[in-house]
Structure 1
């Protein structure tokens, strides 16, 4: 495609426009297509790369650069510095967010070098800042029970939220994985009392997870007494398991907001995130004596080292209990 030619949107997003249009914008669109089509990354992941790299291209544009071959290591380094200190239009980012953007830029330049757009990767030596280790925030067992049990089940939305939270906590699924489920996925599972649930995770990898009786009961109630009422409002048919008030597939943002709202209503003061129930699932399994390799498989982690962070959560909890309960823990 010729430089500056119009390009169709990639993965449901608009192409870069304004100061980053043209050759740099085309380079970005080619890279995002590569991530989504060839590497099979999820739309959410591709969207995150788009946000970071669009900001990077605008940084380059502000320095008068519109050609990939003109970018130097100093230009890349100045972008990292800008992220850390912030500017007139963006506040300073946390080290973890800076690190994510730095990795995105380094991979972006690696792609350009492989494709022959530039002679070499000027960001090859760039390394993300070292961030402090953040432990996952898990709810206590009693908090999870209070969160779910406090939901009224006389309304379609109440039935939906109860079913969604039971699936998230009962399987350890990511919110995006749960929201991608269709009715047929659960109909097959509910027909078999011991049937496992299949979820599709990162990199389009499928894994099998058990579906406990609490989740089965909540999903069954949602399908029979809740979902039909919302499905009637849809403009067109959708196979989605979880629906919004308009009868369309529930979005990740709406699901997260529902979780935070229900937590407040249940009197839970802990900081709630989109993966709070997933973190709770893993922590409670390990607290109950589950083997870490089993938890790794259930979570869909490629490496057990990712799962090991939950053992640190458990150890931290043990230290806190010891410190607050043992009479000679402190002077």
Structure 2
């Protein structure tokens, strides 16, 4: 159970492995700031030891609280505040989470890593925000993604623009046409 929920945290928030494994019950208890439209703001220690806000679907917070109440293993001494525990009651380690994801990907025959969920989050958010921009809604999509990803530099976030261009409908359509024409 904890793996599936941890994978949801990765795909729905863009958090890194160590950030997911470091989630605490205290973090969830402080998540009382509602951003409206079903989002909750959490302030977490991110990469580089910086405190940054993330925005989590309230349903994911509720599902995580349900997991803590019903399915979470009994914590060992000192692990009381950790959200995700191994079956032995110790805090989940990122290596274990990575191995489980790798095992599932291999079983499905998919070549990907857990970090790809973070990339998927970024690309999906960017694509949807760019659609709003094209429809005339003013926002800075790349800046929003930078904040959501916790990047300190916009240049790091701009890497996702390259991937965005490759996965655009025009590129996918062109490659699909080439595939169909080669039959």
TM-score bin (small chain): 0.7 to 0.9
Q: Which residue of 2 aligns with 1:19?
A: none
Structure richer in strand, relative to its length: 2
Is residue 2:137 matched to residue 1:285? no
Tell me how far 1:205 sits from its aligned partner: 0.6
Q: Which residue of 2 aligns with 1:246?
A: 88
Q: Which residue of 2 aligns with 1:185?
A: 27
2:74 is aligned, of 224, 231, 234, to 231
CA distance in 1, matches of 2:142, 2:175: 26
Q: Which residue of 1 aligns with 2:114?
A: 274
SS in 2 for 1:240: coil
Q: Which residue of 2 aligns with 1:324?
A: 176
Q: Which residue of 1 aligns with 2:44?
A: 199
Equivalent residues of 1:171, 1:281 under 8 A apart: yes
Tell me how far 1:261 sits from its aligned partner: 2.7
Pick 1 or 2: higher relative contact order, CA cutoff 8 A, min separation 6. 2
What runs of 5+ residues in structure 2 fail to find an aligned partner? Answer: 131-140
Q: Which residue of 2 aligns with 1:211?
A: 56
Larger Rg: 1
Aligned positions, number = 166
Distance 1:249 1:311, change over 3 A: same
Equivalent residues of 1:166, 1:214 under 8 A apart: no
Alignment of 1:71-220 (within 5 A): 158=1, 160-189=2-31, 194-220=39-65
Equivalent residues of 1:199, 1:206 under 8 A apart: yes
CA distance in 2, matches of 1:307, 1:194: 22
Tell me how far 1:312 sits from its aligned partner: 0.8
Q: Which residue of 2 aligns with 1:87?
A: none
Cα shift readout 1:153-198 (whole Å, capped 9, x = no counterpart): xxxxx2x122211111111111111111111111232685653112
Equivalent residues of 1:162, 1:218 under 8 A apart: no
SS in 2 for 1:248: coil
What runs of 5+ residues in structure 1 fail to find an aligned partner? Answer: 1-157
Q: Which residue of 1 aligns with 2:133?
A: none
